[in-house]
A and B are shown apart, each in its own frame.
Chain A
Amino acid sequence: MKLNRRKFIKRILIVAASIEAVFLLKDGVSKIDTFSSKELFNAGKADSFEKNKLYPFSTGQFFLKRFEDGGFLAMSVKCTHLGCVVNANSKTGGFNCPCHASQFNKFGEVLSAPATRPLDIFPIRIENGEILVDTRKPVKRSSYNKSQLTYA
Chain B
Amino acid sequence: MANKESDQRIPSSLEKFILHLHPNRIDSRAIKFNRTFGLGGILALLFVILSLTGLTLRFSYIPTVEHAYDSIIGIRDNTILGQFIRNLHHLSAKLMVLVSFLHLIRVYYSQSIFQKRAENWTYGLLLFFLVLASSFTGYLLPWDQLAYWAVTVITQIVEYIPLVGDSLAYLLRGSDTVDGNTLINFYTLHTGIIPLLFVVLMSVHFWLVRKAGGVALPKTEEKEKVDVIPNLLWKEIMVASIVIGGLFIVSVFYEAPLLDQANPLKSPNPSKAPWYFLGAQELLLHLHPFFGAVIIPLSAALFFFGLPYFRYKNVNIGVWFNSSLGKKMSIQSSSISFVFTFILIYILDHFLHFDIWFSGVPSVISTGVIPFLLYTLPLAGYLLFWYKNHKANNTEIIMACTSILLSSYVCMLLISLLLRGEGMQLIF
Contact = CB atoms under 8 A, between A and B. Distances in A.
Contact of A25 (B171, B267, B289): B171
Q: For chain A, give the interface size range.
A: 20 to 34
Most buried by B among A61, A78, A83, A112: A83
A62 to B, nearest CB: 12
B270 interface: yes
Contacts of B264: 61, 85
A101 B425 contact: yes
| Main SS at interface, chain A | loop
B153 A98 contact: no
A28 B176 CA distance: 11
B267 A85 contact: yes
B237 interface: no
Interface stretch (A31-39, A42-50, A143-151): A31-39
B265 to A, nearest CB: 5
Nearest to B160: A116
Contact of B170 (A28, A99, A112, A114): A28
Contacts of A9: none
A114 B155 CA distance: 17
Judged by DSSP, the binding face of B is helix
A98 B360 CA distance: 26
Contact of A31 (B181, B265, B367, B422): B181
B423 A98 contact: yes
A59 B265 CA distance: 8
B324 interface: no
B393 interface: no
A34 B167 contact: no
A138 B177 CA distance: 11
A32 B281 CA distance: 31
A100 B423 contact: yes
B156 A24 contact: no
B153 A82 contact: yes
A100 B285 contact: yes
* Most chain A beta-carbon neighbours within 10 Å: one of B264, B271, B281: B271
B157 A82 contact: yes
Contact of B289 (A24, A35, A99, A116): A116
Given A84-B153, A98-B422, A113-B367, 5 more contacts: A85-B265, A98-B267, A98-B270, A100-B270, A138-B176
